[in-house]
Structure 1
């Protein structure tokens, strides 16, 4: 099947959405599907305000329409609600073609946090975007319930996965820090709520691995915290493995793929009892969820790395891909092509 994947998030961006889409695309390719990736690098673009490392396509509708016409997909999936997502939505609606969408990020919460606009206004706009979709894929049961409560009538559940070959226990000592090491990996941005972790009174060391718009400010504010950047999954796997507890302070993530990656490396999780941690950890003895994050981090030190690893192996990308295909709405004869990813350019 020829699947058009329209996304405002793609490499070289580093975030959970890109990691999910990259893994999903590779898995679909291995299954024999032909994937067209339509992403900002193929368009004139500008840096996103407050996120300069994220490019936004400039007026992409005409060019994207020509690209989609040339690709002639059997199905269209709109992965994000940015300029390309809206342009892809228009292309489908103008041709009366079905499409699916995904709700990877809590944009309404982020918009409200940055602009002060009422949360209901933000949700109304995002609901309008998703309303014509045949299905809106939700990355966790909690997000599914939240969207259904907000009248997203097309919401469906969709799991996420982790590459347990790439992410596996690699031993301690990469950063040679006093133990225990309380670790955060991910974007260093205001919505990740990092001060809730960095303000904690904890023994040993606090380690933040990642980049983002808040990094310089937080490095100055917390001189005793160790900030590092790694490159590639091999270094990232070793960075995860060096932690004793993975601390996830975000209250706004839809899932939190980094928690799965940490668990796959045998590192237990501490987080708040909110969407994301509830779905990854739940009641399993692989993490501690509490409004007292310091207590949760200390308690997580006692959990079994082996059980953490075993828990992560339950989350398979092949399952994610099969669920994705089950939610797609093909609008033509769906022939299986030779595996090949088409980069729109």
Structure 2
């Protein structure tokens, strides 16, 4: 099957959407799919106001038609609700081509944090956007229940995974990365986009022993650095460099109140780090009692997490594979395309 994945999120962005799609594209041949991408890099784009790391594509009919002809898709997966996703959705509806969508980001909450836009308006737009799809993939049971209560239909489960070969505990006698050398412990780490919706100010305001370590970049960087001059801000890190930072820290703190999943929590667990987070959707679906502490008092959660078993964290992550994620993703596509009787079976 020829699959076209349309996404407004792609490199150079570093986030869970990009990581998830990378893994699905990599595994597509194993599941009988020839997959291609449609991203902002295929069109002229402009930086998003106030967030230049994100490029907003300007898809033109001529350029879109050329890319569409090259892909000749038999199925389209629309991963995001931005200009690229809208253009792909419109093309599918015009051609009568089946497509699925996925819900990655709580844009209504994110937008409301930045502008006086009622969440109900944003959810109405998103409900209409996804209603035309043969199925909408969501990452967790909590998100599925929340969207169903808001009137979303045809919801399908698509979990996420972690690379346990890359993210793993440090070996015996391993030295800390140079960026962490000499820092007072314990080391409390957070990894993510430095933006208001990630609620990082809640982490930086905690009265904790040792040192807070922040990995990531974004439009809120200057404000956050001013809030916590004693924290170590390391910028964006990827690959083995990022894995080494995880492995050298003691607790992973995830202060977000709006993430739909949080792949970084799985990366932390794979590295042997217990997780401290608020008891909200996302963390509640990912973190069990043996590998993390969920508490409305984030400081109490972070301190309690210091006492959890790193071996248990690693064991939990080993059960969360990208192979299982891909099995669900491609299985969902086959299911929505199957004849009604066969799909039910």
| Shared fold, TM over 0.5 | yes
Could you tell me the TM-score, scaled by structure 2's length? 0.92
Would you say 1:69 and 2:69 are equivalent positions?
Answer: yes
- For residues 324 and 292 of structure 1, the distance between their equivalents in structure 2, rounded to whole angstroms, comes to 36
- The match for 2:106 is 106
Residues 263/331 of structure 1: CA separation in 2 closer, same or farther (3 Å cut): closer
* 8 Å CA contact retained: 2:217, 2:236: no
- For residues 213 and 224 of structure 1, the distance between their equivalents in structure 2, rounded to whole angstroms, comes to 20
Would you say 1:291 and 2:296 are equivalent positions?
Answer: yes
Would you say 1:187 and 2:196 are equivalent positions?
Answer: no
- For residues 59 and 233 of structure 1, the distance between their equivalents in structure 2, rounded to whole angstroms, comes to 31
Over aligned residues, Cα RMSD in angstroms? Answer: 1.5
Structure 1 position 8, deviation (Å): 0.4
Would you say 1:236 and 2:242 are equivalent positions?
Answer: yes
* 8 Å CA contact retained: 2:142, 2:285: yes
* 8 Å CA contact retained: 1:193, 1:250: yes
Would you say 1:5 and 2:10 are equivalent positions?
Answer: no
- The match for 2:341 is none
Residues 139/258 of structure 1: CA separation in 2 closer, same or farther (3 Å cut): same
Structure 1 position 70, deviation (Å): 3.0
Q: Which runs of 5+ in 1 are unaligned?
A: 333-345
- For residues 319 and 60 of structure 2, the distance between their equivalents in structure 1, rounded to whole angstroms, comes to 39
- Of residues 85-94 and 61-70 in structure 1, the stretch that sits farther from structure 2 once superposed is 61-70
Residues 61/101 of structure 1: CA separation in 2 closer, same or farther (3 Å cut): farther
Superposed CA offset, 1:235-268 (max 9, x none): 0100111210000000000000000000000000
Structure 1 position 31, deviation (Å): 4.3
Question: 1 or 2, which has the higher helix percentage?
Answer: 2
Q: Map 1:244-259 to 2 at 5 A.
A: 244-259=250-265
Structure 1 position 32, deviation (Å): 4.9
- The match for 1:134 is 134
Structure 1 position 331, deviation (Å): 6.5
Residues 295/76 of structure 1: CA separation in 2 closer, same or farther (3 Å cut): same
- For residues 262 and 19 of structure 1, the distance between their equivalents in structure 2, rounded to whole angstroms, comes to 15
- For residues 5 and 299 of structure 1, the distance between their equivalents in structure 2, rounded to whole angstroms, comes to 42
- The match for 2:123 is 123
Classify the secondary structure of the residue corresponding to 1:73. Answer: coil
Equivalent pairs counted in the alignment come to 331
Structure 1 position 138, deviation (Å): 0.2
Would you say 1:260 and 2:266 are equivalent positions?
Answer: yes
* 8 Å CA contact retained: 1:98, 1:331: yes
- For residues 156 and 65 of structure 1, the distance between their equivalents in structure 2, rounded to whole angstroms, comes to 29
Classify the secondary structure of the residue corresponding to 2:330. Answer: helix
